[in-house]
Amino acid sequence: DTALQKPREVFRLPTDLTAYDNRLCASIHFSSSTWVTLSDGTGRLYLIKSGKRGNNASEKWEIVFNEELGSPFIIPHSVSYVKSDTHSVAVLLLRVEKDELDTKGSGFHITLEWVTIAEISKEGDHRYEIFKRRVLQGKSVPHYAAVEPSGDGLMIVSYKPFKFMQDEDDKSEENDDAKAANEKKDPLYYWQQTEDDVTITVHIPQDITKDDIKVLFSPDNISVTLKDQLPLMKGKLHSSVDHESCTWIIRESKSLEISLIKKNEGPQWPELIVGDTRGEFIMDSSQCSEIAESLMHLTSEVM
């Protein structure tokens, strides 16, 4: 059962690449069981419909999109998904480029281009076109980079951070985001966690005393009220707690510190109160290292 079958050709690049001097090795990523993204190493991206691979001895791959996208790149990840009845493929392109402005460092920077290709139907004509291109830039090759299964975001683990670069299409959108950011208030609370507990810190007014604070714990909910006003925090916790062991104190810095004891030790909470975005999660350096190590098995030694 483990013997390899005789190799058969399913695809051949349509262009002779020997004339290209500065090309990279070709790279391929299987976006799904029926879709493939391919870089020929010269800067051209192919989207290929493979059909159900391995089911047919006469299987041939069909190019549905190919376009020159600038300097050579490799493909670390791609994903196929359907949203609002439209099929799309999101693909990451990784490049190492010279940085003329970097006179004190390596002289290079890393770019991750996030390209979304979508199916377009016009008068019975079905074809694939680039829907959106976004570029991120950083100073180190990521240990791990992937598009979320829904195509809505990226997951990047890197020694140095990546940031989005502005282009003409995104200027108005980024200006709106900047305006919203300026209007954004400070987080209502900060929280951090270990395998055993969750600690919440809430800044309170100077005139608030212990008698003005009312904190209610239940196995699945929390409520924090100041001076009989509407609850400052209230809602369903991400996971159950040992409510009889939960405590709270007032620190000298006029902050309320709440300690929640997890009922199920170990799992990390992605949020504190379900649907509440007013808090900010604080991750310590040891947790960052643990998460990076847990993702290392998903990567190869050489990107």
Q: What is the mean pLDDT of residues 285-291?
A: 55
In this structure, what is the dihedral angle of CA atoms 217, 221, 222, 225, given to the nearest 10 degrees?
-100
Sign of the dihedral defined by the CA atoms of residues 290, 91, 20, 8, in that order:
positive
Which domain does 253 fall in, by range? 189-284
Output the pLDDT for position 219.
93
Is 221 within the bounds of a domain? yes
Look at the chain and report how many structural domains it folds into.
2
267 and 133 in a common domain:
no
| 168 pLDDT higher than 50 | no
239 and 170 in a common domain:
no
C-alpha distances (whole Å) from 126 to each of 8, 76, 113, 121 are 29, 28, 25, 5
Q: How far apart are CA 156 and CA 173, in angstroms?
A: 23
Residue pLDDT, tens place only, 179-200: 555 555 678 888 999 889 999 9
153 and 59 in a common domain:
yes
Q: Which of 22-26, 80-84, 206-210, 278-282 has the highest mean pLDDT?
A: 80-84
221 and 139 in a common domain:
no
Residue pLDDT, tens place only, 211-234: 889 999 999 999 999 887 888 889
Q: Which of 44-58, 114-128, 145-159 has the lowest mean pLDDT?
A: 44-58
179 and 87 in a common domain:
yes
| 242 pLDDT higher than 80 | yes
Output the pLDDT for position 4.
74
| Entry pTM | 0.55
**pLDDT band for position 300 (50/70/90)?**
very low
Q: How far apart are CA 185 and CA 58, in angstroms?
A: 61
Is 298 within the bounds of a domain? no
Residue pLDDT, tens place only, 64-83: 999 999 999 999 999 999 98
